[in-house]
Amino acid sequence: MRTTGSDSSGRGAGGGAPVRRCGTMAVHRRLMAESAAYRATRAQIEERTRGYLAGRDAQQLPDVAHVPVVVHVVSAADEQDVSDEQVTSQIEVLDRDFRGANPDVSILPPAFAPLVADSRVEFSLAPTDPAGASTTGITRTRTTVASFTVDDAVKRASTGGVDAWPADRYLNIWVCQLAGGLLGYAQFPGGPADTDGVVVTHTAFGTTGTATPPFHLGRTATHEVGHFLNLFHIWGDDGTGCDGTDEVDDTPDQAGENTGVPRFPHVTCDNGPDGDLFYDYMDYSDDQVLVLFTHGQAARVQACLADVRSSLMQPAPAATPRPTAPVPVQREPEVPAAPSPGPGTGSDTAAGVTGRWLHAFEEDHGDVTVYRPAGADLPRARGRRGIEFTQNGSFTEWAVGRGDAPQPLPGRWRRVNAQRLQVSTGRGEERVLEVVQLTPDRLEARWSTAP
C-alpha cells in the first residue's frame, strides 16, 4: 500500500523516521481482481451492514462479544521469536482499545473527546485447540523463510508458515518478519477461510520484547483487527483526494493518511476548524497518537459481529487472572478472579458486579444509588445513566450524550475488598463503590471519593 513520502523500507524518503505501512488494501484489491465470489460476497456484506445500521435504534450488541484468538508465532531466528509475555501484552491492548478503556485517550483535544466509543468486543487467547485439547492459544513454528509479504505464504505450512485454525471459531493472528517495512495486513470479511485473519510483523506486535518504537504500543494489531472486523482506512483510500469514504458518518473527510506525530489541527478537505481525526486507529499515525474508534466505527464492528463474524462470538472466558505484561503508557491494576456472588451482603459481592447496570433513580434512597440490569423493565426516562464492569478490569460510565443517546466514558476498576471496588473514571476521578446489596436483578451501591 502506498505510504506518503516513504521508500520500500518503510522509512521516510532519505532514510528518515519509519512510517506505518499496511497491506490490507493490496490483499483486498488482489482478491477483488481474482475472485468473482469474493466480489459478490463483499457486496452482500456491505448491503447487509447498511441495512443493520439503518434498522437499529441502538447500534449495540446486547452483550459484550468475546472472541477467542490463536497467535501463530513464525520465526526464522531466535530474535524473531516473541515471548508469551509479549503475546499477552498485545491481547491486553486489543481489549483496552476496542472497549475504549485505553488510558492514553486523554491526549485527545476536547473537540474529539465525544467521539470515543466502546466497540463492545473483547479478546482472549483460546483455551482449547480445534481438537478440543487444552492450549495456551499460542503456536510456534521455526521457518527457513527470512521474511514474508502480503502473498499469504505465512498462512500455509507448505510455504514456510503455519495453517490457520478454523476461521469460523478463532481469530488467527500470525506474527512473523514482514519484508519491506510492512507492519501488517488483514483480510476483510468474506475472503477465503484458509487465509482469514491478521498478520503483524514481530517488531510492531505487543508492548514488550521485540516491539520497537514508534510502533511499540500494540496499535498495529488494533488497526489490522479493525480491518478484520470490516473497518476501512479513515481517509477512504482515494489517494489524496477528498472523495473517498470509510462508510462512517462521524469521521471527517481527509486528504490521505497521516503519518508520524501530526500537530492538531491538521486541516484538509475543508474539514476545519478541527481537521483530520489523525488520532483514529484506522489512520497511519505513530502508535503514541492512535487512541480511538468512533461511534460510527463501533457500529460497523458490531454489525460485522452480528452477521458475517457471528460464529466467532463465544461465552465469556472463565474469570482467571491473565499474566500481567508491561504497559508503556500506564500499568493497569491487577484484577483477581471474580467468584460467583451470593445474594445480599454475606459473600464477596464486590467481585460479582460484572455486567451492565442502569441507574434506577426512581428507587434511590438516602445516599444509596440503585441500579437494575441492562434490559430491565424500567419506567421511560429521557436518558438513563448506567455503569458497566467487565472481568478484565474495564469500567464504563454510561452518561447521557447528545440527543439523549448513551455516551460511554471508559475507565478501569479493581477490587479493594469483599464489599468495595475502586474505580478510575473516564472523567479522571478516583471513586470507591461500596456494595450495599446485590441480587441478580438489583444492585444497591454507595459512592464515595477514593482516599
pLDDT tens digit sequence for 194-219: 999 999 999 999 999 999 999 999 99
Q: Could you give the C-alpha distances from 293 to 11, 30, 104, 372, in angstroms and in order?
A: 26, 27, 13, 28
The domain made up of 349-449 has a fold known as Lipocalin (2.40.128)
Class of domain 24-312 (CATH, top level): alpha beta
* Sequential DSSP letters for 157-196: GGGTS-PPPPTTT-EEEEEEPBSTT--EEE--TTS-GGG-
Least confident of 105-119, 232-246, 346-360: 346-360
Could you tell me the pLDDT band of residue 315, with boundaries at 50, 70 and 90? Answer: confident
- Nearest CA to 185 out of 27, 348, 16 is that of 27
The angle subtended at Cα 352 by Cα 349 and Cα 358, nearest 5°, is 105
pLDDT value at position 403?
59
Could you tell me the pLDDT band of residue 320, with boundaries at 50, 70 and 90? Answer: very low
Could you tell me the pLDDT band of residue 173, with boundaries at 50, 70 and 90? Answer: very high
* Sequential DSSP letters for 271-318: -TTTB--TTBTTSEE-TTT--B--HHHHHHHHHHHHTTTGGG-BPPPP
Cell of 336: 483477581
Domain boundaries of the chain, sorted by first residue: 24-312, 349-449
3-state secondary structure (DSSP) of residue 449: strand
DSSP state of 203: G
With a pLDDT cut of 90, the percent of the chain lying above it is: 66
Could you tell me the pLDDT band of residue 10, with boundaries at 50, 70 and 90? Answer: very low
Beta bridge partners of 217: none
pTM above 0.75, yes or no: no
Catalytic residue among 224, 257, 388, 397: 224
CA–CA gap between residue 32 and residue 271 (Å, rounded): 31
The yes-or-no answer on residue 224 being catalytic is: yes
Mean pLDDT of the chain, nearest integer: 86
Asked, colleague to colleague, whether 24-312 and 349-449 share their fold, the answer is no
